[in-house]
Amino acid sequence: MWLNIKRSAEVCDRFYASIENSDLLDGRRNDKISVIFTKWRNIKTLTNAIHHYRFILEPVVCKLYISWNPSLGKPGIELTRLKFLKEGPPVEIVYHRYESTSNIWSPIAGLATKAVFLADDEHLPDLEKMEIAFETWKNNPQSLVGFFARYHTRQKLVDPFQADMSGMDPALPSVNVTDVPILHQPVSVVDEHHLWIYNITSARRPRPYSLLASQMLMINTEYLFVYSCLLPERIHRHIDEQGEDSADLAMNVMIAGMTGSRPVLVKSDFVDPESGRFVGESWALNRGQILKDLVRIFTGGTRDPLQYNSVSVAQFNKIPFKKRSVKQWNKYT
């Protein structure tokens, strides 16, 4: 039995009630962002991260939210007292009634900005990086803008017994997927003749990417409503029934299919949060299968909406120089 069958309806009904007599949708701010904490190691590291965003990043932060799942129990006094702070952006705990990986995309009543930023306690950007990410998003408001890129590819499955048609020995050894050329172009049809591969990019091996991780991700606020309230129930159920978190993949597929936009990567030296989870081929194939299933459910298996991008936005460092007169330059010649 699916325990979250009423989750979407309750979340959306509560959101509808909050905006019924409000002009917030027409007056959301575009000069600041809302920050949502979705992952943290412990309360101490979370409070340190909150302090960083409230004071170091205060010029671009409007308000901070903590996404609180039922499995976390009751928040301690360290967090509940944050709502009484007067200096800096305010802090609010968003309580979720149901346990779901999709809670990170739940629309929040009273959200006053056009963009939200999903944060954790491990990666603390400085003000310049955050301003670059925010400016990049304002130039690409339909796209996902983030710091950790992913890519997906496909590998064709080869049936060795088909070789008998050419007079070859039908008892050929099985073909290892690492021996099959990887097709980097988007998949036109979702079929059972291809393995889908999901993997991370790195600064040492940059390459075109097609997805962004949910950590340190900037997204249009309206997408929270679209994901939670407009997606069919079968998609929410499929996401909840996965053995691991797939809500980030679903959001990538939804936005690409709905807008046709490409994700945009902001270059940084942060350690990728999934680099420690990478265990080789089996991990990449498992995540690839989850992505393949999501694309099939979203599109009916007719196409792959994900778009590749090779753009990496970086900070421009102006080269310092001094003006010299002709006489001064002649001294060096």
The yes-or-no verdict on residue 12 having pLDDT over 50 is yes
Identify which has the larger pLDDT, 222 or 277.
Answer: 222
Report residue 177's pLDDT band, with 50, 70 and 90 as the boundaries. Answer: very low
- The gap between the terminal CA atoms of the chain, to the nearest Å, is 84
pLDDT value of residue 275:
77
Coil, helix or strand for 187? coil
Report residue 283's pLDDT band, with 50, 70 and 90 as the boundaries. Answer: confident
Q: Minimal CA–CA distance to 212: which of 108, 302, 306, 294?
A: 306
pLDDT value of residue 202:
76
pLDDT tens for 60-87 read 999 999 999 999 999 999 999 998 988 8
What's the chain's Rg over C-alpha atoms?
23
Q: For the ranges 41-50, 200-209, 273-282, which has the lowest average pLDDT?
A: 273-282
Q: Enter the tokens of residue 309.
A: 């991008």
The yes-or-no verdict on residue 121 having pLDDT over 80 is yes
Q: What is the DSSP letter of 55?
A: I
Please check whether residue 55 is in contact with residue 124, taking contact to mean a CB–CB distance below 8 angstroms: no
Q: What is the mean pLDDT of residues 304-323?
A: 79
pLDDT tens for 200-247 read 887 777 899 999 999 999 999 999 999 999 999 999 999 999 877 899
Enter the CATH code of domain 7-157+175-313. 3.90.550.10
| Domain residue ranges of the chain, discontinuous segments joined by + | 7-157+175-313
CA 130, CA 266: separation in Å to the nearest integer? 10
pLDDT value of residue 159:
55
C-alpha distances (whole Å) from 299 to each of 211, 306, 309 are 17, 11, 21
pLDDT value of residue 278:
53
CA 22, CA 304: separation in Å to the nearest integer? 38
